[in-house]
Amino acid sequence: MINEEKTHWKQQLGMLIIFFYPFYLIEWFIKLFFYGKKAYYNISFEREAKLFKYDDYYNTKRKKWASFHYIFNKE
């Protein structure tokens, strides 16, 4: 869980914190129409954080805009 929250912190810093939350809510709202109740799990920020929550070194090698890879990508 700590790694997951560290990833969220890196995501927030990458978007200067202020832009993170509006983008998060907009993405959730758009994905609500496609995924319904599972929209939260398909937000790019959540997908990235959950995917690497067991990788202790991910946050040291993570690129600044890595979350945007998961917006449309189904990996």
Label residue 36 left, alpha or beta by phi (over 0 means left) and psi (-120 to 50 means alpha). left
Per-residue confidence of the chain (75 residues) as pLDDT tens digits?
A: 888 889 888 989 888 999 999 999 999 999 999 999 999 999 999 998 988 999 888 888 888 888 888 887 765
The per-residue pLDDT for 37 is 92
CA–CA separation, 18 vs 73, rounded Å? Answer: 25
The per-residue pLDDT for 29 is 96
